[in-house]
Chain A
Amino acid sequence: MPKMTFIERDGTRREVDAPLGLSVLEIAHQNDVDIEGACEGSLACSTCHVVVDAAWFRKLAEPTEDEEDMLDLAFGLTETSRLGCQIVITEALDGLVVKLPAGSRNMLNE
């Protein structure tokens, strides 16, 4: 089974199983990684924003317009930002590394 690594906000690296066909958001939830995903992957929020390792970023499929629209609203956007719900694990993504961003735009929690 493919693996992937989450780098948590305190810098801790967590390698977890990454079943084919699951999204990074779903994998995070399976492993209690602290990514919110308020809209449950329906492209209506940016709370599953992750920062993809630069080397891996180039291997991902291009984001759709809808994903870009949501990224426009993401807090702490970087040049390698994506939405976790839109990255679906394939064999080519075995070893993927993503970092959790500094914060997310949910005013009620701030």
Chain B
Amino acid sequence: MNRVPPRPNRPVYLDNQATTRCDPRVLAVMLPWFSEQYGNPHSVEHVMGTAAETAAEEARAHVAALIGAEPREVVFTSGATESNNIAIKGAARHALRSGSDRRRIITVATEHKCVMESVADLKADGFEPMFLPVRPDGLLDPETLRDALAVPTLLVSIMTVNNETGVVQDIPALAAIAKAAGALFHTDAAQGVGKVPIDVTAWKVDLLSLSSHKIYGPKGVGALFVRRRPRVRLVPLFSGGGQERGLRSGTLPAPLVIGLGEACRLAQAEMADEAKRIADLRTRLLDRLHTELPEVRVNATMTARIPGNLNLTFPTVTAAELMARTPDLCVSTGSACSSAEVEPSYVLTALGLPPDEAARTLRIGIGRFTSAADVDFAAAALAAAHAGRPMHAVTQA
């Protein structure tokens, strides 16, 4: 027991909530659109343009199918951060222009930074941001939302899946509460799309953000679902040529958009099988880790959680120290955007973790390209690192 594992040939990547490897099948579909097929999808007067347009519209249909939307309800963006900004600020600015007197905007303390900051920024425009707490298991209590909606509310934004804990909120129930109070409902589904089944029609959400690079697609592209019936109206952030129904001006990056479409098509075809396989790998990892380190604790609910995520607090050694001792293992201390900060993760703080526990917490993200050997290495390496054994004793001996 507690043997130091031999070094792998290449780093073992278990940070799939930060980003994912672009699936080679996605890359293959994209490549011609970087080389021979370079037409502008908006140049509809010639064959190069219409070929790109046709391919981009096929991609739009794949994205729409994965989330239960109509293709024309899908607006391509540069990623979930932009989608979230357009949704939140766009809805607020439309309300100002159209004479709505609703000023409250509700979100949750465990949201991604770009949602929190977009909501907070609207205070300067006269809105009333409100950040709801979550329970220790990471879930939002529906009663907390109901109480907050006592004041007429313009918009509620609640993420589908948390980026640090993998917790899946009950979006259909929360959206129903928000809609009953006359508010718009937005969900940042960057970590949920392709991992859990999503149906914007059944869920009755008005706006949904998604990202390509979290689902084995290229970086730099994403989408925003904007409901057409009843019509949801937004004021765009960009001025320009009026592409994407006027909501997002700028030439579509055809190769990226086509890659996102293929990533969505693959996710829809393989989601169910993949979820089972990844869940088995997570069980294997946790069992092995618990055999060697029974005190390792999983934060947040294990029932409403995507299969690939673990958020683990270790008994005595800090996450930074564990990572320093396991240079061949790619895991993280929190979200990628905040992992360079010294501050404890605000997501873990919202779950009630004191700073010293947060400092001993690692996020592990298992994905499509993770093997059983990878998780075996991770469990052995983390256990050895926690026991303080130098990682490369075997090769050094």
Determine whether A77 belongs to the interface, using a CB cutoff of 8 Å to chain B.
yes
Determine whether A78 belongs to the interface, using a CB cutoff of 8 Å to chain B.
yes
Q: Is B99's CB under 8 angstroms from A79's CB? A: yes
Determine whether B246 belongs to the interface, using a CB cutoff of 8 Å to chain A.
yes
Q: Of residues 94 to 136 in B, which have CB atoms within 8 Å of A's CB atoms?
A: 94, 97-100
Q: From residue A56, how far is it (CB to closest CB) to chain B in Å?
A: 16
Q: From residue A51, how far is it (CB to closest CB) to chain B in Å?
A: 9
Q: Is B100's CB under 8 angstroms from A79's CB? A: yes
Determine whether A94 belongs to the interface, using a CB cutoff of 8 Å to chain B.
no
Q: From residue B207, how far is it (CB to closest CB) to chain A in Å?
A: 15
Choose from B99, B228, B246 the contact partner of A78 (Cβ within 8 Å). B99
Q: Of residues 25 to 70 in A, which have CB atoms within 8 Å of B's CB atoms?
A: 65, 68
Residues on A with beta carbons closer than 8 Å to the beta carbon of B229: 65, 68
Residues on B with beta carbons closer than 8 Å to the beta carbon of A78: 98-99
Q: From residue A30, how far is it (CB to closest CB) to chain B in Å?
A: 29
Q: Is A72's CB under 8 angstroms from B99's CB? A: no
Determine whether A76 belongs to the interface, using a CB cutoff of 8 Å to chain B.
yes
Q: Is A65's CB under 8 angstroms from B228's CB? A: yes
Residues on B with beta carbons closer than 8 Å to the beta carbon of A76: 97
Choose from B98, B228, B245, B246 the contact partner of A79 (Cβ within 8 Å). B98
Determine whether B277 belongs to the interface, using a CB cutoff of 8 Å to chain A.
no
Scoring A65, A71, A72 by chain B CB atoms within 10 A of each residue's CB, the highest score goes to A72
Residues on B with beta carbons closer than 8 Å to the beta carbon of A71: 231
| Cα distance A15–B31 in the bound complex, in angstroms | 65
Q: Is B231's CB under 8 angstroms from A68's CB? A: yes
Scoring B98, B229, B245 by chain A CB atoms within 10 A of each residue's CB, the highest score goes to B98
Choose from B98, B100, B233 the contact partner of A72 (Cβ within 8 Å). B233
Residues on A with beta carbons closer than 8 Å to the beta carbon of B228: 65, 68
Residues on B with beta carbons closer than 8 Å to the beta carbon of A79: 98-100
Q: Select from chain B the residue with minimum beta-carbon distance to A62.
A: B230
Q: From residue A60, how far is it (CB to closest CB) to chain B in Å?
A: 14
Residues on A with beta carbons closer than 8 Å to the beta carbon of B94: 77
Residues on A with beta carbons closer than 8 Å to the beta carbon of B233: 72, 77
Choose from A65, A72, A77 the contact partner of B97 (Cβ within 8 Å). A77
Q: Is A77's CB under 8 angstroms from B245's CB? A: no
Q: Select from chain B the residue with minimum beta-carbon distance to A51.
A: B99
Q: From residue B65, how far is it (CB to closest CB) to chain A in Å?
A: 20
Residues on B with beta carbons closer than 8 Å to the beta carbon of A68: 228-229, 231
Residues on B with beta carbons closer than 8 Å to the beta carbon of A65: 228-229
1/0 contact string of B162-200 vs chain A (CB within 8 Å)? 000000000000000000000000000000000000000
1/0 contact string of B215-239 vs chain A (CB within 8 Å)? 0000000000000110101000000
Q: Select from chain A the residue with minimum beta-carbon distance to B235.
A: A77
Scoring A65, A71, A79, A81 by chain B CB atoms within 10 A of each residue's CB, the highest score goes to A79
Residues on A with beta carbons closer than 8 Å to the beta carbon of B97: 76-77
| Cα distance A72–B245 in the bound complex, in angstroms | 9
Q: Of residues 70 to 106 in B, which have CB atoms within 8 Å of A's CB atoms?
A: 94, 97-100
Q: From residue A70, how far is it (CB to closest CB) to chain B in Å?
A: 11
Q: Is B98's CB under 8 angstroms from A77's CB? A: yes
| Cα distance A19–B228 in the bound complex, in angstroms | 33
| Cα distance A78–B99 in the bound complex, in angstroms | 6
Q: From residue A69, how far is it (CB to closest CB) to chain B in Å?
A: 9
Q: Can you list 17 A-B contacts (CB < 8 A)?
A: A65-B228, A65-B229, A68-B228, A68-B229, A71-B231, A72-B233, A76-B97, A77-B94, A77-B97, A77-B98, A77-B233, A78-B98, A78-B99, A79-B98, A79-B99, A79-B100, A81-B98
Interface residues of B (CB under 8 A from A): 94, 97-100, 228-229, 231, 233, 245-246
A-B pairs with lowest CB-CB distance, top 8 = A68-B231, A78-B98, A78-B99, A79-B98, A77-B98, A79-B100, A79-B99, A72-B246
With A68-B229, A76-B97 given, name 16 new contacts (CB 8 A). A65-B228, A65-B229, A68-B228, A71-B231, A72-B231, A72-B233, A72-B245, A72-B246, A73-B246, A77-B98, A77-B233, A78-B98, A78-B99, A79-B98, A79-B99, A79-B100
